[in-house]
Chains A and B, each alone.
Chain A
Amino acid sequence: MSIEIKDLYHTYQVGTPYETHALQKINLDIAEGEFIGLIGHTGSGKSTLVQHLNGLLKPSQGQITIDGVDISQKGIKLKEIRKKVGLVFQYPEHQLFEETVLKDVSFGPQNLGLSVSEIDKRVRNALEVVNLDYLEIKDQSPFNISGGQKRRVAIAGVLAMEPKYLVLDEPTAGLDPRGRDEILAQIKELHRRLKITIILVSHSMDDVAKMADRLIVMHDGEVELNGTPREVFQKSEILKAIGLGVPTVSALLYSLKAKGFEVRTDLLNMEEAKEEIIKVLRMRRGKNA
């Protein structure tokens, strides 16, 4: 079971002077259980792309198949698709509206027509996953809690629908470093423990490099690169040309290499890089001696 995107095109405001081609010839396969990082600049089409995944936007051309069901067809039950593919928008806290956190998180499962006990169970689970104390927070107003908590409540609102595929559009935008790390850790946990397929949209190379199995780099509405983080960060020239750059660790290794140190450049985390640098330094010393 997987998400398949075939020859997807999307054009905004067709037939006006403002016509823009937001997506062009997108071909992607996303397998169940994958952790995908979707990276691109503002306006590269990544938000448009993810809105296609649960039928919020209809393709101008092309086909999207989710678990064998073509969702671009007419008469498809969109609720079924939205149950399967959860989408957390940018700044999801702006969608909170209920009087209490409990009611807000229940909104999604309620729309799915679940029983009261099932809704309650899901709300408890969802709040636990995002590390909020159910009893402490359930009766508070979602407008009186801190920014980081609001974000987590909003994410729980989507998690409570228990989607099989979870798409998060810049879930860490506007959070402080601690809030960011917490949210990312919880997403990682979701993937590891509940085996949810994750598509994480971001423009931060550092965030996605650490977490994703596969990176999809978008530029001007097209898929520019598609591969493991190692493969993608090897193409630093392309990344630089489209203004994205490489993660801090890769950047360090690249500049060392440019200065004449024979280090490997396909390392992604600090530990590996440290060892590689020590190794190269030892070799140098050995040569000089």
Chain B
Amino acid sequence: MLKDITIGQYIPGESLIHRLDPRTKILVVIIYMTALFIINNAIGYYFILLFSLNIILLSRVPVKYYLKGLKPLLIIIILTVSLHIFMTPGTIIAEIGPLAVTKEGLKQGVFMGTRLILLVTVTSVLTLTTTPMTLTDGIERLLNPFKRIGVPAHELAMMMTIALRFIPTLIEETDKIMKAQMARGADFESGNIVQRAKALIPLLVPLFLGAFRRADELAMAMEARCYRGGENRTRMKQLMYTSLDTGAMFITIIFLMFAIYTRLAA
């Protein structure tokens, strides 16, 4: 059960996508999403599919990881698609009992489904090819210009880093405490909802205590090393744009312009 959590899962690799600067990757994803919502006809979708497939292949991450990322969203996707298919008014092409499938609805449904799947998949490319630490670094740098209007860029990034850093630790801890209580005969898997909720107490109390203890220790360790926020802080690994990033941005912008063009031309 705990093994299914894929947040911040990173698949190590040396592909072109892995080597891109995190800022580029974040910007490309934002532009990509914009384009995805601008496009509204078949030609546009054809090209965005081609573009996305290329990115996925370039990432060299096994396809099953993308499928795994889609699995939890399956119900939402099916629901959205069927709502569109059955609820859009227009020319009726088939009738199943009280439900009517319209031509416009079918088109709309397929489009929406593709949109959702692509959205999730391409965002997964970002998280699967970038370590969580690099990703937060990128976010911090991208948010830097907004510091002047009061966005606490460094603090946000630090919180994200710490949160991401502790996800595996807490999962491991949960696993350990669960096993320790199971060794004492605790049963987390059977009984009605009240019994199950009660069974969680021996798990949650030690887990929270542990989390607070860790937070305390971490704060102390950070202060002992003179941490005092982002002011004047330098970093060991500087982010640097390379020609690879220029190329990627160039292609993405052309792609965006094309997306806008297909909409206007239609």
Contact = CB atoms under 8 A, between A and B. Distances in A.
A157 B177 contact: no
Contacts of B182: 56, 78, 82
Interface in A60-115: 78-79, 82-83, 86-87, 89, 92, 94-97, 107-108, 110-112
Contacts of A286: none
Contacts, number: 60
Secondary structure of the B contact surface, majority rule: helix
A196 interface: no
A17 interface: yes
Interface in B1-58: 3, 11-12
A111 B191 CA distance: 13
Nearest to B213: A94
Interface of A: 13, 17, 51, 54, 56, 78-79, 82-83, 86-87, 89, 92, 94-97, 107-108, 110-112, 143, 157-158, 161
Interface stretch (B113-121, B130-138, B157-165, B202-210): B202-210
Given A82-B182, A86-B183, A161-B185, 8 more contacts: A78-B182, A79-B187, A89-B179, A95-B181, A96-B206, A107-B184, A111-B184, A158-B184
A56 B187 contact: no
A107 B202 contact: yes
Contacts of A107: 181, 184-186, 202
A143 B213 CA distance: 13
A97 B207 CA distance: 9
Interface residues of B, number: 20
B179 A92 contact: no
Contacts of A111: 184-187
A157 B181 CA distance: 10
Contacts of B201: 97
A79 B177 contact: no
Contact of A54 (B11, B176, B183, B210): B183
